[in-house]
């Protein structure tokens, strides 16, 4: 099902590369948090305090706000929140804890990392036993399917999905003699080839870059639109033979060769600075990225708008709340999930922060459909991002989805930023993937 390396974790693509040194650093992090295998194990129900639970999240998504909102709804509850690190560091810490350390009661896991844990659903509480069976119908079916084991256990409840659009600068588009109306802009690029051609028109007119980078704004979005990605429907690794993956990679190379990129990796300091300076005119933007744009470029309010993404659909990101099997206070953790991920609260979260709900009952509600964002020229963000998700063709995620995607992104970044030979980039990516995952 659909889960791309999301930087709801929000790390740079470079930060996704899991080298041996990085793995050792993560192990040290886990040890520093008391997560090592020698730590005292916590058995399920050891405390059973309905008013206290320990919660691990990743950084960059302001989970403290959700916790504070919950405490207003449940003032007698104590939530011990730890922001472990980025999404990959949090997943690594959980892996170490599950191997024999002390586990938290609740953990936020990004969608791209979830398949690793789905191999051993017994490491987690089956949420069906706590009430998940009664609410699973509230969520998008393909999102729930990713968190449901083949034997039926429900491992997680989804918090959001990352419906896609293209955020663009109206002032910069106008300076290039291009349309600025969101419908007219979207009509410029029904396909990714058209998108790249539009970029060439912009760059030729202005001498400036059209997009931030080819890896995340072109390749990562194009590859998400196929019915099959890195794994086949029966779970076989097919990244090297799937033409959708190769064609999407080639689109990334085409964008680089066209000279339309600013060579700024997503979520780096340079990317943030470039956003504020107008170093690029357009960026592929999931719903949750709008907050990043506001933060990086606060003085550009009203100069942005949002158009449909080429191909019309896409998703980047999403996360799940899970409860380890040895959690001391599973009921307290479940009460948090049930409350904060209800359709009502997911809708409120969208209105507050832009995170797109995973609850279809909200998709027709006026509060979402008619929601506009003044920072982005009053773009109807609820409508745009919802349509992107509804048009998605879900695909199977596998255990090494993140590792495969990381190496493909790294290969494109190598060509774009380091001048690596483009004609060797695909073979380099495949070689590095085989080294990383053995397949």
| CATH number assigned to the domain comprising residue 364 | 3.40.190.10
pLDDT tens-digit series, residues 131-175: 999 999 999 988 999 999 989 999 999 999 999 999 999 999 999
Euclidean distance between CA atoms 321 and 155, whole angstroms: 8
Q: Would you say residue 16 has pLDDT above 70? A: no
User: Does residue 3 belong to any structural domain of this protein?
Assistant: no
Instruction: Give strand pairing partners of 106.
Output: 55
Considering only CA atoms, which of 229, 254, 146, 225 is closest in space to residue 404?
229
- Asked which of 343, 359, 385 is the last residue of a domain, the reply is 385
Does residue 362 share a domain with residue 400? no
Overall domain count for the chain? 2
Q: What is the mean pLDDT of residues 250-276?
A: 96
Does residue 354 share a domain with residue 429? no
Residue 346 DSSP SS3: helix
Residue 392 banded pLDDT, cuts 50, 70, 90: confident
Q: Would you say residue 27 has pLDDT above 80? A: no
Does residue 173 share a domain with residue 65? no
Residue 230 banded pLDDT, cuts 50, 70, 90: very high
Task: Give the number of other Cβ atoms within 10 Å of residue 419's Cβ.
Answer: 8
Does residue 184 share a domain with residue 36? no
Does residue 195 share a domain with residue 58? no
Residue 363 DSSP SS3: coil
Does residue 419 share a domain with residue 298? yes
Q: 257 with 345: CB under 8 angstroms? A: no
User: Does residue 8 belong to any structural domain of this protein?
Assistant: no
Does residue 284 share a domain with residue 184? yes
Q: What is the mean pLDDT of residues 346-368?
A: 93
Pick 7 or 298 by higher pLDDT. 298
Instruction: Give the strand pairing for 78-85 and 156-169.
Output: unpaired
Alpha helices in 164-304 (DSSP H): 170-175, 182-188, 192-206, 214, 220-223, 243-257, 269-277, 290-296
pLDDT tens-digit series, residues 295-310: 999 999 999 999 999 9
Rounded percentage of the chain residues whose pLDDT exceeds 90 = 76
Residue 310 DSSP SS3: coil
Considering only CA atoms, which of 315, 380, 371, 325 is closest in space to residue 348?
371
pLDDT tens-digit series, residues 99-134: 988 999 999 999 989 999 999 999 999 999 999 999
Domain with 408 in it: 163-315+394-437
Q: Would you say residue 356 has pLDDT above 80? A: yes
Does residue 306 share a domain with residue 220? yes
Does residue 349 share a domain with residue 288? no
Does residue 228 share a domain with residue 79? no
User: Quick one: tokens of 435?
Assistant: 């080294």
- Asked which of 385, 409, 427 is the last residue of a domain, the reply is 385
Does residue 73 share a domain with residue 141? yes
Residue 396 banded pLDDT, cuts 50, 70, 90: confident
User: Does residue 415 belong to any structural domain of this protein?
Assistant: yes
Residue 47 banded pLDDT, cuts 50, 70, 90: low
* Lowest-confidence pick of 131-140, 185-194, 349-358: 349-358
Task: Give the number of other Cβ atoms within 10 Å of residue 260's Cβ.
Answer: 28
- Asked which of 364, 385, 406 is the last residue of a domain, the reply is 385
Residue 435 sits at φ, ψ, to 5 deg, of -65, -40
User: Does residue 2 belong to any structural domain of this protein?
Assistant: no
pLDDT for the residue 104: 97
Q: Would you say residue 98 has pLDDT above 60? A: yes
Residue 22 banded pLDDT, cuts 50, 70, 90: very low
Does residue 170 share a domain with residue 298? yes
């Amino acid at each position: 099902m659909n889960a791309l390396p999301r930087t709801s974790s929000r790390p740079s693509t470079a930060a996704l590369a899991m080298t041996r040194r990085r793995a050792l650093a993560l192990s040290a992090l886990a040890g520093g948090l008391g997560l090592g295998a020698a730590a005292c194990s916590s058995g399920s129900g050891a405390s059973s305090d309905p008013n206290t639970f320990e919660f691990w999240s990743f950084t960059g998504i302001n989970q403290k706000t959700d916790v504070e909102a919950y405490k207003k709804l449940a003032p007698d509850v104590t939530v011990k929140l730890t922001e472990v690190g980025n999404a990959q560091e949090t997943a690594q810490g959980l892996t170490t804890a599950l191997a024999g350390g002390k586990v938290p009661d609740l953990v936020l896991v990004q969608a791209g990392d979830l398949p690793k844990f789905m191999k051993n659903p017994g490491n987690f509480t089956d949420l069906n036993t706590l009430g998940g069976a009664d609410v699973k119908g509230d969520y998008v079916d393909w999102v729930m399917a990713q968190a449901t084991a083949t034997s039926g256990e429900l491992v997680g409840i989804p918090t959001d999905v990352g419906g896609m659009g293209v955020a663009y600068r109206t002032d910069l588009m106008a300076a290039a003699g291009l349309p600025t109306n969101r419908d007219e802009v979207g009509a410029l690029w029904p396909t990714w080839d058209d998108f790249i051609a539009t970029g060439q028109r912009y760059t030729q007119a202005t001498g400036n870059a059209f997009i931030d980078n080819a890896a995340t704004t072109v390749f990562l979005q194009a590859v998400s639109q196929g019915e099959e990605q890195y794994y086949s429907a029966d779970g076989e690794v097919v990244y090297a033979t799937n033409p959708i993956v190769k064609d999407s990679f080639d689109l990334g190379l085409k964008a680089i060769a066209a000279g339309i990129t600013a060579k700024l990796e997503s979520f780096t300091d340079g990317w943030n600075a470039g956003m504020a300076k107008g170093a690029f005119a357009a960026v592929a933007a999931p719903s949750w990225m709008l907050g990043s744009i506001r933060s990086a470029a606060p003085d550009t309010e009203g100069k942005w708008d949002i158009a449909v993404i080429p191909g019309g659909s896409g998703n980047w990101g999403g996360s799940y709340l899970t409860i380890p099997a040895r959690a001391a206070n599973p009921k307290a953790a479940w009460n948090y999930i049930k409350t904060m991920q209800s359709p009502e609260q997911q809708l409120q979260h969208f209105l507050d922060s832009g995170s797109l709900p995973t609850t279809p009952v909200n998709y027709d509600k006026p509060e979402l459909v008619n929601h506009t964002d003044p920072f982005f020229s009053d773009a109807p963000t609820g409508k745009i991002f919802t349509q992107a998700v509804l048009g998605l063709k879900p695909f199977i995620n596998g255990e090494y989805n993140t590792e495969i995607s990381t190496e493909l992104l790294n290969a494109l970044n190598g060509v774009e930023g380091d001048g690596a030979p483009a004609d060797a980039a695909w073979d380099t990516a495949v070689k590095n993937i085989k080294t990383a995952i053995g397949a």
